[in-house]
Amino acid sequence: MKMKKFKSFLCLFITSLFLFSLSGCQTLEESSITDSSSKIIEVIDATSNADSAEADSSEIITTEPATQEQTTTAPRTEPPTQAQTELIIDENGTYTSKDDVALYIHTYNKLPSNFITKKEAENLGWEGGSLEPYAKGKCIGGNHFGNYEGILPEKEGRKYTECDIDTLGAKKRGAKRIVFSNDGLIYYTDDHYETFELLYGSEE
């Protein structure tokens, strides 16, 4: 609105100046009037452009910070529940590796069904070495471990059981064993009871 009024005022001023020059009150050359008019129009255009630039700069798009509802947080990873663990390791499955057998014992508190005791194997004619000729798909496990060297922690009422590891279909039993207690301790040895690695449970 201000620019329109300003332009109208200047137009009236130029017209009056022109008429005044014609009336003889003041002698001005036509070229001078034209030059003055051109300069005034240039000033008007410059002022108009400056106002437009100022208006554009005032229209700044602001980005508001995200609210608490919009902010997403990655869910915290929880340890698997008993039900989820049972889905990972099948109770009726066959297992022979360190990790699988340890997880099975930790989940079901017993050995997988593919393990038989030395006595059971002997009743089938086994005298040592591979079980395949006597009990195909079976491994030795379930016998009492005496802990006579006292390497594993003792506690009143605690009993240890052992089983072979990685012997399914093997020609010999090897040196790998898992030894587990009746109160949640599960150990692994790969040097025939010389050293043990605690896989599950707490010795405290």
Q: Does domain 82-200 have CATH number 3.10.450.30?
A: yes
Q: pLDDT tens for residues 13-72?
A: 666 565 555 544 444 344 444 454 455 445 445 545 545 545 454 444 444 554 544 444
pLDDT band at 90 (very low <50, low <70, confident <90, very high): very high
The answer to whether the CB of 201 falls within 8 A of the CB of 184 is yes
pLDDT recorded at residue 18:
55
pLDDT band at 174 (very low <50, low <70, confident <90, very high): very high
pLDDT recorded at residue 76:
54
Q: What is the mean pLDDT of residues 87-115?
A: 96
Active site amino acids = 162, 192
Q: pLDDT tens for residues 40-53?
A: 445 445 545 545 54
Residues 51 and 163: their CA atoms lie apart, in Å, by 89
pLDDT recorded at residue 32:
44
pLDDT recorded at residue 44:
44
How many C-beta atoms surround the C-beta of residue 11 within 10 A?
14
Per-chain mean pLDDT for the chain = 77
- Cα angle: 191, vertex 151, 168; to 5 degrees: 35
Please report, for the chain, the start and end positions of each structural domain, with discontinuous segments joined by +.
Answer: 2-56, 82-200
Per-position DSSP letters for 8-23, written without gaps between them: HHHHHHHHHHHHHHHT
Residues 171 and 51: their CA atoms lie apart, in Å, by 94
Amino acid at 158: R
Q: What is the mean pLDDT of residues 158-177?
A: 96
Amino acid at 83: A
| 85 burial via Cβ count (<10 Å: 0-12, 13-18, 19+) | middle
pLDDT recorded at residue 204:
76
Residues 172 and 47: their CA atoms lie apart, in Å, by 99
Residues 17 and 8: their CA atoms lie apart, in Å, by 14
The answer to whether the CB of 133 falls within 8 A of the CB of 202 is no
Confidence check: pLDDT of 96 > 90 = yes
